[in-house]
A and B are shown apart, each in its own frame.
Chain A
Amino acid sequence: MECGCPGSKMMDRRDEDSGDDPTVAVKSQLRQWPIQLHLISPEAPYYAGADVLLTADCVAYAMGGYHSEYLKGKSIAIACPKLDAEQTIYATKIQSWFEDAKINTLTVLIMEVPCCGGLLHLAKQALAASSRKVPLKAIVVGLDGEVRSEDWVTA
Chain B
Amino acid sequence: MEALLNRGIKQIIDEHAEVGPILEAYGIGCVPCSVGTCLLKDIVDIHGLTAVQEQELMTKIAKEVYPDRDIVIPLREDTAPAQGGELTYSPPIKKLVDEHAWIKRLLAQIPAVIEKLDLSSESDRRLVRDMLDFIRNYADRFHHAKEEDILFKYFDENLDILQVMFTDHESGRAHVRAIAEAVETQDRAVVCEHLTAYRELLTEHIKKEDEILYPWMDKELSDSQIGQMFSAFADVDVAFGDGPAKHIAFIETLEAASS
Can you list 11 A-B pairs, Cβ within 8 angstroms, ordered by A? A51-B224, A103-B227, A104-B227, A104-B231, A133-B230, A134-B227, A134-B230, A135-B91, A135-B226, A135-B227, A135-B230
Judge if A152 is at the interface, Cβ distance under 8 Å. Answer: yes
Contact (Cβ within 8 A) B223 A137? yes
Asked if B88 and A105 sit within 8 Å, CB to CB, the answer is: no
Residues of chain B having any CB pair with chain A under 8 Å? 88-92, 94, 223-224, 226-228, 230-231, 234
Neighbouring A residues of B226 by C-beta, 8 Å: 105, 135, 152
Chain A interface size band reads 10 to 19
A77-103 toward B: CB 8 Å interface, digit per residue (1/0)? Answer: 000000000000000000000000001
The residue in B92, B224, B227, B234 that gathers the most chain A C-beta atoms within 10 A of its C-beta is: B227
How many cross-chain pairs have Cβ atoms below 8 Å apart between A and B? 38
Question: Interface of A with B (CB < 8 Å)?
Answer: 51, 73, 103-105, 107, 133-137, 151-152, 154
Is B228 within 8 A of A104, CB to CB? yes
The answer to whether A152 and B90 touch across the interface, beta carbons within 8 angstroms, is yes
Interchain CA distance A40-B30 in the complex, whole Å: 53
In the bound assembly, the distance between CA atoms of A59 and B224 in angstroms comes to 21
State A104–B223 Cα separation when bound (angstroms).
9
**CB closest residue in chain B, given A103:** B227
Q: Does B88 contact A107, Cβ atoms closer than 8 Å?
A: no
Nearest CB on A from B221, distance (A): 11
A51 to B231, CA, bound (A): 13
Q: B residues within 8 A CB of A105? A: 223-224, 226-227, 230
